[in-house]
Structure 1
């Protein structure tokens, strides 16, 4: 694998880029403080911008590592950061990565997350050289599963009572795509 870090990626409607401290207020307002958005996340809604700033500072510091992949999702027409997508876990030995994402509920149902995920999958396969990309979702969040399906990720199983999120202990679905299944 050839780690290249969080480089800017662009789609028709989105810019995927590194976070900056200028993103703190928009990240807080658009998704990080919203209970509707964070209900299936393993982290609670942020209560203030100071905490968001501290988190984004930690992400910015991590960009120095070439195996850090953590993008802010900026919607071109509104010029705002509306979510994030990142590699939350990777295994060099088998060239495998797990991706996680979050999007402002103001932008749900418009195809933004499949657009971002497809772009990240392409980058991770074609540029970095991963062989497997996986993602998980709470069984109570089937819309996230549909995002994964739209990007070619196949159902692999349901892990019973495997995670704790803001709704409590829950079952989680795992989906994945392999490089030889990926169609450019």
Structure 2
């Protein structure tokens, strides 16, 4: 069924998707994880210090030893700067299904970067790992994220009402998108 290969380098026109390295901590902190606007719709608080970010990166680096760990840094080829991340957060081995999430520095929004990264990772997960279904969800107020999912070939499947609770204890709805291997094969004929 699934043929886990772990986080391998993926190159696109403008990006190198690769494993996070400990030296990415400053870019990661500066470019997105400390920005409250970027983290507004995410499940975690903005980082207050580079040390918060270091703890996370150190954990990810340790997890790379597992073949079912998929967590890419999004690096701009042109500058070598890390401007975001994309990863599998939930993996259902028995159903050949996973859930994917991504986060991009605000200065790179609306430039096709997230779509380019998501499309490349979807290709990898179907072609190399052999997933049958890839899911992504977003806060219904985060319209831009839904547009990225659609441009990457995902289809809207519905809304989970009051599915999560915000950091401020307010419930929010999640829009659910997915792409099946069948859809991906049809799209790539």
TM-score scaled to structure 2, two decimals? 0.95
CA RMSD for the aligned pairs? 0.8
Deviations 1:35-89 (A, max 9, x none): 0100000000000001100100000000000000000000111220000000000
SS of equivalent residue, structure 1 residue 29: helix
Unaligned 5+ segments in structure 2 are none
Per the alignment, residue 119 of structure 1 pairs with 120
SS of equivalent residue, structure 2 residue 60: helix
- Aligned residues, how many? 184
CA distance in 1, matches of 2:167, 2:13: 33
CA-CA distance at 1:169 after TM superposition:
1.9
Deviations 1:101-144 (A, max 9, x none): 00000100100000000000000000000000000000000100
SS of equivalent residue, structure 1 residue 55: helix
Unaligned 5+ segments in structure 1 are none
Please tell me whether the aligned partners of residues 38 and 166 of structure 1 are also in contact (alpha carbons under 8 angstroms): no
Per the alignment, residue 67 of structure 1 pairs with 68
CA distance in 2, matches of 1:33, 1:25: 11
CA-CA distance at 1:166 after TM superposition:
4.1
Per the alignment, residue 175 of structure 1 pairs with 177
Higher relative contact order (CA 8 A, sep 6+): 1
TM-score scaled to structure 1, two decimals? 0.98
